[in-house]
Amino acid sequence: MNVEEYARMYDAEDRQWWYAGMRAISLALLRPRLAAGARILDAGCGTGRNLSEFAGWARPSGVDLSEEALRFCRRRGVGAARGRVQSLPFPAAAFDAVTSFDVLYHRWIEDDAAAVAELVRVLRPGGVLLLRVPALRMLWGAHDAAVHSRHRYTTREVRALLEGEGLRVERLTYANTLLFPVIALRRALDRLTGREGSDVGFLPAPLEWAFGALLRLEARLLPRISFPLGASVFALARKPGAA
C-alpha cells in the first residue's frame, strides 16, 4: 500500500462511516463466538485500530509487513509484529480467532490459498477465522488502483477458498449492500472520468451520519441473514476439531 495511505487510514478509522460501519459488522459476527480473553490475531493489522477495539475484551496480537503501518500501531499504543501473512511469525494453533480484513486482495498476496493455509495453521482446532475482502469485479475503480488491489471476490470464490483449506463456513454474506447502487454509480463514474486516488476520507456530515447508520443497520441484520449483493464479502469459518 502507498505510504501516504496509512496516514489517511489512521486519521479516518475512528470516525469515518465506512471504517466504523465495517468494524460494527465485524464485531457483530465475531464477538458472540468468542469467550472473554480469547487470543485474536489480526493478520495485516494496518494501523492497529482493530487491535485497540479487541483489547477491551480479548488478547489481541497483530502482524503487518509495512514498517509504516507498525509505526502507526505504536502511536496508537498497540503491539504488532512485522511479518508476512504468507509466513506468520507465530507457532501453530496459537490463536482462538484470526481476522483478516481487506488483505487477501492485495497484489503482494500472489497465492491467496497459501495465505489462508497460513492463517489456518496458527488457528487452534475449533477456532474461527473472520475474513473480509472487497466484492465483485464490476465495482473496480480508482480506489482499487490506489490501494494496489489484485482481485475483487464473489461469495462463491470465498467459499471455495476457505473450504479448500479445510474450514467449515458458518456465515458467508455480502455486505455494504444498502449503499450498493451509490457505490456502483461511483465506480462507473470513476471509469468514465479517469479519476485517480483512494476513497479514504470524510464526506459532508449528513452523509457521514446516513451512510454510517445504514452500515450499523446491516451490523444488526447480518448475524441472522445473508445479503445477495454488496461491495464487501464477509466470511466466518471454523477450523475442525477441538482444542
DSSP 3-state assignment of 183?
Answer: helix
The reported pLDDT for the residue numbered 214 is 97
Write out pLDDT tens, residues 48-71. 999 999 998 999 999 999 999 999
Which run of H or E residues covers position 229? none
For residue 109, the model assigns a pLDDT of 84
Question: Please, which residues bridge with residue 97 across strands?
Answer: 40, 128
Residue type, 34: L
Query: Maximum CA pair distance of the chain?
Result: 53
Residue 239 corresponds to which cell in the numbers above?
477450523
pLDDT of residue 6: 84
229/232 Cα distance (integer angstroms): 9
pLDDT per residue, tens digit, the chain (243 aa), is 666 778 888 888 999 999 999 999 999 999 999 999 999 999 999 999 999 999 989 999 999 999 999 999 999 999 899 999 999 999 999 999 999 999 999 888 889 999 999 999 999 999 999 999 999 998 887 777 777 777 899 999 999 999 999 999 999 999 999 999 999 998 888 888 877 767 777 899 999 999 999 999 999 999 999 999 999 999 999 999 875
- Cα(164)–Cα(157) distance, rounded to whole angstroms? 10
164 Cα distance to chain centroid = 20
CB neighbour class for 49 (10 Å; exposed up to 12, middle 13-18, buried from 19) = buried
Domains of the chain as residue ranges with CATH = 3-238 (3.40.50.150)
